[in-house]
Structure 1
Amino acid sequence: MARATSCAGFFAVLPYLGLWLMDDRGLSGASAGLVVGASILANRAGGVLLVPLIHRLGLKASVGVGYLGAVVVFGVLGAGPRLPTYGWLVLAALVGLFLAMATTAMKAQVAAFPADQRLRGFSYLNMAVNAGSAVGPVIGGQLLEWRADRLPLSAALLDLVALAVVPALPGEWRASGHSGGGARTGGTGSRRLPGRRFVAFTLLVCGTWVAYAQVFDVLPAYLGDAVGTRELGLVFTLNAVLVVALQVPVTALSRRLLDRPRAGFGPLCLAANAVLGLAVVLFAFGRSAGLGLVLAAMVLFTLSELVWSPLYDTQVGERRGRLSTTAAYALAGVAWGTAESVGAWLGTLLVVRRSGPGVLSGTAALPYWGGAALALLTGLALSWGGRDKPEKPLGGQEGKVHDVDVSARA
């Protein structure tokens, strides 16, 4: 619940932040875009910057501090101050940093679960993120139309609900040890740099996130007038509903496949990325085939996401080696966020230069062909690498690796 409400608060504001700053606060378009970009960048990269603080405070306390900070900053935004651009930049970046702190610490909490519960925990997190990101824009859109000045206060209220749930989260408020959680997060080793296996896995998975960006970040620009705004909203709502409805049974099926001697992590990742690639190809035909094919593509896309999203997150903890759990999830978040951002930028750049109505003409569909190819190559590479036994993480809280049958995950 904490993750769902905090995501709802963030996505109630983020899609409309630029418009709100221009219409309600009088910023120029360039300044508003800079503020929005600062918030996104801080949210993506903030986890890495805050790793020492998270270690010192402990995981549960870091989640609480993150949500408390978001409540305060959203409250300041909603108080109606008149600030220069740099003032809005600072506040937007603080929102991103506080929420990044809570997210990174919460992922590290789930990674500390017993091995047979870890995949299920990340599956529930994926459900919460999708539920919040579906409800948030609806709340924000209605408030922007009714009472635009209340937009940041709605996020503050939702983060306050998340903060109230923090005491019910597992774990102690402060971890034992001199570093505020070093033993629990695996940070007791002398080598703090990421190992080769972790780096290779993290970079390989970037291919999946580039393909993901073509759907969630580029699709509205690609479809243009072919699918109306309301119908496109239905497409993304379908994704959120399917995640909430199917994540638990799909995770149960994934666990059974992971336990089979001829299945395991590699083949499962290959299958998930192959389905993702097929979905991205179908999206490429959406401009000419219409809403029906786009809906079918979103069903396939969601089925793949239900598998690879929690699976990748689980593997970050399994592959981290001597790197602390908190640092591992922070570094993976930065790498995958960067891959999504680059994929969205390049995809949008090519899409807006469309030179023909068909998927085989011009440059408009190139991001989708490229995204599908990257997804398939990523699955093949992870399938090959999944034959090796993973390096056992340090820290004493990871359980038995073979309990989740992963041999070599966001």
Structure 2
Amino acid sequence: MENIYLAKQPILDRNKDLVAFELFFRSQELENSANPENGLSATANVIVNAYGHLGIQNVLGQQRGFININGDLIRSDLINLLPQKHVVLEISSSEIIDDELIAHCTELKKSGYQFALTGVTSVNENVQRILPLINIVKIDVSRLSQIELTELVKQMKRWPVLFLAEKVESHDTANQCMHIGFEMFQGYFYAKPESISGKRADPAKLSLLNLLTLVMSDSDLEEIDKEFKREPGLSYNLLRMVNSAAVGIPQKVNSIKQSIMLLGRKQLQRWIQLLLYTTENSKNNEGLDNALLRTAAARGKLMELIAAVERPHDKNYQERAFMVGILSLLDTVLGIEMQQIIDKLSIPEDMSQALLIREGRLGLELQLIEANEMGEVKTIQSLLKELDFLNLNELTNLELAALGWVNRIGEAAN
């Protein structure tokens, strides 16, 4: 099977709940191909092979996946191999909409597929022909002014479609789109929300950071237990988690000390790191935090798996790699400088270099994961060449393992 490259970007609703991912599939062969006909065949094969080989549940969890398709793929039998309940088929507004394409889309819609129309900037004749079959209209909000966006949405409200704003990259743009009437959102702002100057760190998160400091510095059990008792909500969550995971134990665990001993310091540290990305008290941010939690957790696990390929017998290095991935978004969540987090946690030099300036081996691996999240294929290939121990296919397989781990965490938490 050909090498498959996979990237995905979160899609959120008006409540900032994670509802879907846009998936990007490419192959190394396709990337270097100069023949458009071969390109079409490769695109179809990559998408279908990806779903068969990668496993839809590993890639998406419970969310839907938006995937780009073209007219030739719609007309082929291959499209029917994609699971209706898990995908939204994205058609470009520049696609030539003829009677044959409309007929195929109509049949696919009858069998349960949903369609999104992407790249819309005006309601021309081509767009009007396909709109009756469209569920979601995706608009690149970076290409239009607020007045143009408002007018476009107003014109398209004649059709029963949902509006998705893509390329949302700031708070201002997000708020404007919300006001105009967009129901779904994607972009760098949601994939990695910007840190707001002057933002106050949540006291509960600072308490978690104190706990993380105690665990990482090998403080005694009494001190960790005392810190937990200052936060009843954390104590409850820890007991609930340990009891749900403690298979085979004859009786319920009912003390913090017992929970910590049962869980072990390494797992306790990981649990606290992940908990830093959740917000118990803010209903408005739960979905955003969920998207960040999944990104941070996937980064941590993928960093660990990559480090295990590079240094299979160095468990300490693998653990440092996991921590770099998890901590890499923490400055955004807490609203404080990364340097302050590093100082508080007394982080080793190689981790500090990776988190602050993306240098060293761990820094290169973090760069690789960030490029993968953004779909920057050339950067990915360049970094793989520089690291020189991993290829694109191996990276994809490791990413799938990481995504499977993240999905299992999510299921255990519910």
TM range (shorter): under 0.3
Greater length-normalized contact order (CA 8 Å, ≥ 6 residues apart) = 1
Q: TM-score under structure 1 normalisation?
A: 0.26
Q: TM-score under structure 2 normalisation?
A: 0.26
**Structure showing the higher strand proportion among its residues:** 2
